[in-house]
């Protein structure tokens, strides 16, 4: 008789102990990274982000009015958390990383509570299993290696922070259910939580339809006499709020580096392939990487088919859910919804079309689906199966954390696992080997790329960097190096056709343009008094839409008096263009007017002046400038026609 209460207490403690043990194992793995440095994008948001560091407490409201980083990402709550760390701990990466770990830990009790609530709702006849099932889901979530990237990479806070608010929103949404309808208090709190989610990461907009779907289910469960259509305004409200906030982010994220839409079959295989890869990484304990090839992968067809299966199954699940409750179908549908923002439906440049961080929240419904399926087995085989999954996941978490000790260590496993793939090779050349002057090693890495066109570009980047840093200085004459850079810039002006649907390929070209822009700046630094070098550096930057440093180069050129008189009008015009694109709109008027006063004048300055006047609210002056722009363009065209053979 005395053992019975003890067994009951043990059964009650078992779920808690399981969650605590898994959290302790994961944190033990994460603590390896405590003293790792800032990596990759971290300087953009933190160590080099002087705009955020100088923000006064009384002006924190500005975070909600404009982006506070050079990447032009409008994520107010994420940036506020960085600002708080800066104020409390300065530029200590350990503090920022500990903050990420704390956010991750706070997610776990919410994952447990949300899973338990859903289990009791969808499996009312097995509600007694909810604590243990929720603990199993939480443990698998805690140990999953897909979370390493979000927790250890400080820039990954834009995933782990909205994870926390998303789980809070789900918990509030579940507690909205009442016998006579939806609780206005909890529903209102859910809307606030969703706003916090999206102010942390706009791609988490998929949280809104999940909650709306739940609320519709709750409404359908009410007795007919209690069903008031007015309560359906809550699902509509959360969808409307998500749409409004999404519009706000589209307006503020003016640094969006999208690529044109492509409507060929490759766009379909791209989206389905991404979904297939995400499903694979969610349930597979395989080695993790920073770069995952999609179109270049030998298993593209298999991943596309898998993505199609997931999509069709989730749509079928939606139909099935209309007929009867099913936790499995619901989990599959939620997984699809949370993956949708990362399926390149709106294409943009990324170094990898698939990343672990895209699963930061989607891992939860994936683990929920696995646990729900295994719960059909007897306790012993179920426990063995879940343990067989948890152990390799834990091992991969421990191993993956070690890869983040440096960028070289992060990329090296990718080079070994994907020999010949151009993205890890380019990143190693550009971010590791060239900055250290390892030209022989950089040439070897570039030579390993299997695509001939990309291999040639990478090798030429190595040669150009060597010529800039070594050759031009040794010769004391920049002319030969300028010719080399100019020739390479011509090759980079037209990316390959496949770049229109292959975002990493498009980004490869963009990275090459960035390296060339940096080389021009270095060359100008070696010959700071040479107006021709600085003029060519500025022209390249303008042609590649890289405006940083362009204004400084052109100011020197126009003030130096070294340029031939015939080129001065064009130089002043380009200075106005650079100022306009660099945000110095009011200042751009002066050099543009100067371009019209030179002999000969550059009348194309009228076209740029029209934009300046329009953006500064001088619409009559803008109209006059547009007329002059049109007249001189017509005259130039007629002159060309008269002189044509």
Is residue 463 situated within a structural domain?
no
- How do residues 409-441 score in pLDDT, each as one tens digit? 999 999 999 989 999 999 999 999 998 989 999
> Would you say residue 639 has pLDDT above 60?
no
Is residue 503 situated within a structural domain?
no
- How do residues 172-181 score in pLDDT, each as one tens digit? 999 999 888 8
> Would you say residue 106 has pLDDT above 50?
yes
Final residue in a domain of this structure, among 405, 423, 441? 405
Confidence of residue 132 (pLDDT cuts 50, 70, 90): very high
Confidence of residue 67 (pLDDT cuts 50, 70, 90): confident
Q: What is the pLDDT of residue 254?
A: 53
Mean residue pLDDT across the chain: 89
Is residue 518 situated within a structural domain?
no
Is residue 453 situated within a structural domain?
no
Residue 1: partners with Cβ closer than 8 Å, 6 or more residues away: none
What is d(CA 395, CA 416) in angstroms, rounded to the nearest whole number? Answer: 20
What is d(CA 327, CA 309) in angstroms, rounded to the nearest whole number? Answer: 19
Confidence of residue 616 (pLDDT cuts 50, 70, 90): confident
Confidence of residue 332 (pLDDT cuts 50, 70, 90): very high
Pull the structure tokens for residue 200: 């942390």
Final residue in a domain of this structure, among 405, 437, 466? 405
What is d(CA 451, CA 293) in angstroms, rounded to the nearest whole number? Answer: 13
> Would you say residue 12 has pLDDT above 80?
no
Q: What is the pLDDT of residue 644?
A: 31
Q: What is the pLDDT of residue 635?
A: 54
Site of tokens 């206005």? 184
Final residue in a domain of this structure, among 358, 386, 405? 405
Domain of 554? 545-645
Is residue 446 situated within a structural domain?
no
CATH number of the domain residue 604 falls in? 1.25.40.10
SS3 of residue 261 by DSSP = coil
SS3 of residue 11 by DSSP = helix
Give 372-376 contacts, CB < 8 A, sequence gap 24+: 372/133, 372/327, 372/328, 372/331, 373/328, 375/126, 375/129, 375/133
Q: What is the pLDDT of residue 228?
A: 83
- The DSSP secondary-structure symbol of 286 reads P
Q: What is the pLDDT of residue 636?
A: 52
Q: What is the pLDDT of residue 3?
A: 47
Is residue 609 situated within a structural domain?
yes
- How do residues 272-321 score in pLDDT, each as one tens digit? 999 999 999 999 989 999 999 999 888 999 999 999 999 999 999 999 98
Pull the structure tokens for residue 532: 């021709």
- How do residues 20-57 score in pLDDT, each as one tens digit? 999 999 999 999 999 999 998 899 999 888 899 999 99
Is residue 297 situated within a structural domain?
yes
Closest CA to 142 of 125, 122, 117, 167: 167
Residue 256: partners with Cβ closer than 8 Å, 6 or more residues away: 72, 250, 348
Number of domains in the chain: 2
Is residue 254 situated within a structural domain?
yes
CA-CA-CA-CA dihedral for 549, 555, 556, 558, to nearest 10: 140
Q: What is the pLDDT of residue 350?
A: 87
> Would you say residue 547 has pLDDT above 90?
no
What is d(CA 123, CA 130) in angstroms, rounded to the nearest whole number? Answer: 9
* Best mean pLDDT range from 310-324, 354-368, 539-553: 354-368
What is d(CA 203, CA 473) in angstroms, rounded to the nearest whole number? Answer: 47
Give the Cα-Cα-Cα angle 398, 274, 404 (nearest 5 degrees): 25
Site of tokens 């362009």? 550
- How do residues 382-405 score in pLDDT, each as one tens digit? 999 999 999 999 999 999 999 999
């Amino acid at each position: 008789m005395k053992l019975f209460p003890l067994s009951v207490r043990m059964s009650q403690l078992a779920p808690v102990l399981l969650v605590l043990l898994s959290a302790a194992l994961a944190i033990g793995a994460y603590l390896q990274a405590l003293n790792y440095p800032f990596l990759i994008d971290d300087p953009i948001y933190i160590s080099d982000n002087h705009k955020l560091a100088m923000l006064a407490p009384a002006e924190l409201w500005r975070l909600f009015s404009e982006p506070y980083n050079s990447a032009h990402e409008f994520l107010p709550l994420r940036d506020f958390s960085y600002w708080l760390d800066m104020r409390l701990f300065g530029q200590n990466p350990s503090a920022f990383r500990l903050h990420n770990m704390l956010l991750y830990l706070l997610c776990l009790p919410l994952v447990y509570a949300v899973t338990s609530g859903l289990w009791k709702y969808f499996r009312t006849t097995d509600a007694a299993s909810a604590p243990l099932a929720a603990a199993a889901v939480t443990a698998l979530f805690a140990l999953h290696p897909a979370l390493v990237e979000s927790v250890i990479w400080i820039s990954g806070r834009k995933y782990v922070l909205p994870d926390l608010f998303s789980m809070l929103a789900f918990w509030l949404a579940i507690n909205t259910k009442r016998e006579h309808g939806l609780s206005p208090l909890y529903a209102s709190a859910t809307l606030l939580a969703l706003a916090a989610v999206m102010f942390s990461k706009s791609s988490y907009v998929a949280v809104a339809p999940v909650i709306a779907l739940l609320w519709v289910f709750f409404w359908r469960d009410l007795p007919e006499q209690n069903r008031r259509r007015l309560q359906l305004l809550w699902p509509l409200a959360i969808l409307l709020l998500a749409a409004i906030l999404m519009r706000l982010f589209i307006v503020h994220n003016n640094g969006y580096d999208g690529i044109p839409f492509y409507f060929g079959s490759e766009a379909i295989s791209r989206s389905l392939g991404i979904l297939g890869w995400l499903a694979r990484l969610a349930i597979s304990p395989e080695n993790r990487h920073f770069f995952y090839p999609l179109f270049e992968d030998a298993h593209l067809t298999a991943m596309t088919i898998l993505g199609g299966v997931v999509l069709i199954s989730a749509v079928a699940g939606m139909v099935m859910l209309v007929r009867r409750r099913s936790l499995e179908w619901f989990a599959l549908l939620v997984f699809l919804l949370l993956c949708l923002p990362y399926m390149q439906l709106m294409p943009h440049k990324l170094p990898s079309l698939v990343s672990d961080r895209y699963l930061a929240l989607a891992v939860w419904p994936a683990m929920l689906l696995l646990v729900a399926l295994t719960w059909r087995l007897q306790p012993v085989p179920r426990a063995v199966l879940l343990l067989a999954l948890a152990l390799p996941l834990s091992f991969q978490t421990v191993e993956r954390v070690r890869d983040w000790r440096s960028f070289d260590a992060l990329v090296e496993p990718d080079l070994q696992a994907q020999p010949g793939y151009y993205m890890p090779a380019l990143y190693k050349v550009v971010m590791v080997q060239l900055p250290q002057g390892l030209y022989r090693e950089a040439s070897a890495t570039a030579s390993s790329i299997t695509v001939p066109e990309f291999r040639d570009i990478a090798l030429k980047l190595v040669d150009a960097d060597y010529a800039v840093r070594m050759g031009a200085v040794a010769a004391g004459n920049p002319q030969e190096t300028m010719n080399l850079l100019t020739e390479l810039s011509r090759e980079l002006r037209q990316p390959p056709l496949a770049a229109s649907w292959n975002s990493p390929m498009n980004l490869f070209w963009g990275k090459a343009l960035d390296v060339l822009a940096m080389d021009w700046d270095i060359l100008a630094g070696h010959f700071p008094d040479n107006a021709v070098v600085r003029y060519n550096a500025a022209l390249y930057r303008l042609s590649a839409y890289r405006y940083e440093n362009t204004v400084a180069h052109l100011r020197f050129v126009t003030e130096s008096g070294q340029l031939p008189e015939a080129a001065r009008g064009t130089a002043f015009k380009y200075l106005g263009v650079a100022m306009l694109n660099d945000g110095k709109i009011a200042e751009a008027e002066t050099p543009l007017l100067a371009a019209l006063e030179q002999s000969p004048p550059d009348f194309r300055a009228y076209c740029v002046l029209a934009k300046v006047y329009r953006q500064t609210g001088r619409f009559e002056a803008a109209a006059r400038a547009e007329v002059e722009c049109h007249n001189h363009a017509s005259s130039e065209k007629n002159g060309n026609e008269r002189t044509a053979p």
